[in-house]
A and B are shown apart, each in its own frame.
Chain A
Amino acid sequence: MQYILEILPSLFSGVVTTLEIFALTIVLSIPLGVLFSLALTGKSIIKVIFEFYVWIMRGTPLLLQLIFIFYGLPIIGIVFPRFEAAVIAFVLNYAAYFAEIFRGGFQSIPKNQFESAKMLRLSRWQTLRNIVIPQVFKIVLPSIGNEVINLVKDSSLVYVIGIGDLLQAGNIATARDVTLVPLILVAVFYLVLTAVLTLVLRKIEQRFDYWR
């Protein structure tokens, strides 16, 4: 017990870092994902560019992308501080996944919704804002939830570029004190985080249950 109290502060500061990366990634990558998905449903060269981007982001390990941005890019003169490098890598990676999820959502909106809107003379933006996006949001919520939970755990990858997150804090304590306790505590922290998020996501889904 005494030992747990001793290592808790370092674990908590690790949690703060984990949550910072998590929150920044969510706040930035979801709107980006919506924008990118619109590009993916377009027709022009832009669509090809974004398909290539999604292919790269989903086709290579996130770990590699982190290493590439933090250790690789400085070789050609592009230097990001650790934390910024991590956030950039996560946002670019998750925006690609969100873009694909939203693309699927947009494509599942029945054609009659667009035609009704057109006959009522709503503009493209009015149609998106009032009719399409609210419907897409409801459709994609469960898939978004999955990614959100994944992100909590994926954030532990930042150890590779030397950021002191939750996992890093536990790992250091375990190596120093030769005990399993820190790692078990780390697991408990992740479980609590994902449990809270699961509840929040379920509440959000329930709030959108008023129409079908």
Chain B
Amino acid sequence: MFQVKNLNKSFQGKTIIKDMNLDVEDNEILSIVGPSGAGKTTLLRCITGLEKVDSGQFLLDGEEIDPTDDSKSVIGVVFQDFGLFPNLTVIENIILAPQLVLKKSKEEALKEAKELIDKLDLSGKEDLYPYQLSGGQKQRVAIVRTLAMHPKIICYDEPTSALDPKLSEEVGKIILDLKKQNITQLVVTHDITFANQVADKVKEVRPFKEEG
């Protein structure tokens, strides 16, 4: 179970997130929806440790975690623009961190990557560079790359923004499929239809307005 307690975040005195609380069970998918400027992406960046919070707690199975601590992060992200490394092939993108960070042998990293590649229908693309892939393929590579680090929680930032409706449905299937693997998933989106399609729970955020 992943919990966010009393999260506050402001930029230069402007409050973005005020006393936010979230509860997500294991294997659960939480969609965070809301209009642009509501602080969805900021919330995701706080949870993933890319932004420091002003105050608040993150709990995983009751234990406090610090997302900004890189040494034992349990959170993976699939960015809106995927953030693939253009100078590395698909397979190199995937096995780089498992080898360097998790200290896996190349064979082991390759073996695991292969399984994920097959599962996400990327067979045959291993040696291509990101520029040779379609948007949907890039996204799946980004998902595989994140999965290869065995995160307990995966966050998606606007996963459907670059995809046509058919591909949106496919990524929805992938997200639903990952539920079976004991992974908690957070999906930030402005696409309510998509949110309802994949989510167990939907959390709506609104732009924060100062009182008075």
Contacts and interface: CB of A to CB of B under 8 A. Distances in A.
Interface string A151-186: 000000000000000000000000000000000000
Interface size class of B (residues with CB under 8 A): 20 to 34
Interface string A110-153: 00110110111111001000110011001000000000000000
A134 B70 CA distance: 23
A211 B89 CA distance: 9
B81 A120 contact: no
A135 B87 contact: yes
A210 B50 CA distance: 31
A134 B87 contact: yes
A122 B49 CA distance: 14
Interface in B43-78: 48-50, 70-71, 73, 75-77
Contacts of A131: 85, 87-88
B56 to A, nearest CB: 20
A119 B86 contact: no
Interface centre among B70, B75, B85, B129, by most chain A C-beta atoms within 10 angstroms, is B85
B97 A113 contact: no
27 contacts: A112-B79, A112-B83, A113-B85, A115-B50, A119-B50, A119-B73, A119-B75, A119-B76, A120-B97, A120-B101, A120-B149, A121-B97, A121-B101, A122-B96, A122-B97, A123-B70, A123-B100, A126-B100, A126-B101, A130-B100, A131-B85, A138-B87, A210-B129, A211-B87, A211-B88, A211-B129, A212-B86
3 interchain residue pairs of minimum CB distance: A116-B83, A120-B97, A112-B83
Interface of A: 112-113, 115-116, 118-123, 126, 130-131, 134-135, 138, 210-212
